[in-house]
């Protein structure tokens, strides 16, 4: 399985969304693999981490997010669930779970219900160590074209998550501890 081929089959090469997915996916994959080097307590599937990091945002192509070249119907918040559905249909259920569980620092059923999000009301938080690594790494990079493509600082990520929801910030800090991430 080649994740780049999947992205090419989903988004026209050369399109804005293709460029955004490739740049962002590569950034998240590199950071994820760097983090994986410091997690020595359990064996990790580094190939899976690379593939799933590249594919974690595949569902954006079905959302309404014109700033990144997406003209679908679904709200952007649905991209994780949509990506899971797409990847599950390709026989990539593990990759699909990463897609569903990476949004924010994971979404809880309580987040979904309290904020009336257009998502299935269930916990969508990372469970496996690979899911946790990718979810954590994803927070350090933006997908917005023309925005700063550098890696955000730890404090920038934490501040952004606190503004979004205190629960996301708490889960991010827990992931930081679990992954023995040095700030």
Domain extents for the chain?
A: 3-178
CA-to-CA dists, residue 57 to 50, 116, 128, angstroms: 13, 22, 18
H helices, E strands: number in the chain:
9, 2
8 Å CB contact between 41 and 57? no
Give the model's pLDDT for residue 78.
Answer: 97
Give the model's pLDDT for residue 183.
Answer: 79
Question: Half-sphere exposure of 9 toward its Cβ, with a 13 Å CA cutoff?
Answer: 10
Give the model's pLDDT for residue 18.
Answer: 96
For the chain (183 residues), the mean pLDDT of every run of 10, in chain order, is 96 95 96 90 91 98 95 96 98 98 92 94 96 96 78 93 88 92 84
CATH architecture of 3-178: Orthogonal Bundle (1.10)
8 Å CB contact between 99 and 14? no
d(CA 149, CA 116): 31
- Bridge partners of 63, per DSSP, are 74
Which pTM does this prediction carry?
A: 0.94
**Burial environment of residue 115 by CB neighbours within 10 A (0 to 12, 13 to 18, 19 or more):** exposed
Q: Is the torsion defined by CA of 121, 127, 132, 134 positive or negative?
A: negative
Give the model's pLDDT for residue 148.
Answer: 63
């Amino acid at each position: 399985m080649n994740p780049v081929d999947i992205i090419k089959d989903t988004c026209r090469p050369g399109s804005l969304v293709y460029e955004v997915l490739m740049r962002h996916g590569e950034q998240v994959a590199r950071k994820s693999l760097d983090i994986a080097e410091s997690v020595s307590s359990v064996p990790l599937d580094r190939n899976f981490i690379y593939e799933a990091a590249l594919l974690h945002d595949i569902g954006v192509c079905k959302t309404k997010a014109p700033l990144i070249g997406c003209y679908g119907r679904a709200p952007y918040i649905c991209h994780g669930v949509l990506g899971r559905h797409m990847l599950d249909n390709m026989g990539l259920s593990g990759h699909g779970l990463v897609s569903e569980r990476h949004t924010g620092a994971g979404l809880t059923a309580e987040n979904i219900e309290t904020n009336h999000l257009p998502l299935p009301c269930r916990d969508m938080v990372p469970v496996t160590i690979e899911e946790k690594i990718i979810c954590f790494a994803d927070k350090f990079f933006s997908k917005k074209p023309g925005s700063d493509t550098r890696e955000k600082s730890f404090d920038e990520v934490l501040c952004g998550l606190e503004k979004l929801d205190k629960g996301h910030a708490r889960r991010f800090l827990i992931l930081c501890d679990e992954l023995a991430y040095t700030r």
